[in-house]
Structure 1
């Protein structure tokens, strides 16, 4: 997690610890970290319960905790476009959102995203700002010329200027990396409920 500004700006979604915490929380566990300082390494301790929670299968043959069934029913018809050029973090986020019931389409560049929007309908855009072919800001401006759906900008930078730049481009929200998945999910739900 201790990355340089350039790595953080153009790196993945910053979800490593968030994914770990989400998975551990889903299993009723706890995670702790100890470190003596920057660039000194860290020790992570994970505690998990041995009692299993009741689960059911979702439509894709995956196990779904019983308390998530309601969320899946509410989100199952919502189509999200996720744009990020880092395949591993994009895949992780896609899986986490699909487990919540969203229909996720992935693009790894602004050009791919534009093509997907030409051929499909979406309820929400989630885009990294540092894309390989142009910025997420430019992507949102282009998409808003013909389509109207809310967007969430993901960035390693979170100054007031960064937030304002995202809003000026047409994004409804700006989230700073590393992304807190619970906050992302609440933001998605808020935007989709206000847009319906």
Structure 2
């Protein structure tokens, strides 16, 4: 059954506010604060998102969908490595903004067990073309690296700046060539 227009607006407003609150306060963002800022009652938040987990999952899913769409946009870029690095910069920013949700992109043993990671891997696979990375490097590897960097910098005074710096430093290490340092040329 389709939602009424006001229900759709409330859902969108709650989701937008939740994204901002998670970016500001992490996964422990207050549901009451989200309701207040969204201009709705707590019952309205709970009607759309019956649990904190449901709300956090929706926040994550929305951002993951945006990252997947961005990967598809960049897939046709002339410079595959530059496109991949641009996309990974956005993944790092997402992980920083989604403090406490970074694990939503991390994998538990097998990246395919996590649908968010699987969606990102599928969407970004075309970015690994034309020698953009060393032979054998996968999107899963890059996501795990991004999540690790973000987790390592979570207490830094400027976590986004530091995460981007460290990821770019690591990127210099996954330049085209074999992982053991031999050139693939």
Above 0.5 in TM-score? Answer: no
Q: What TM-score does the superposition give when structure 2 sets the normalisation length?
A: 0.27
Q: What TM-score does the superposition give when structure 1 sets the normalisation length?
A: 0.26
Q: Which structure's residues are more often helix, by fraction?
A: 2
Q: Which structure's residues are more often strand, by fraction?
A: 1
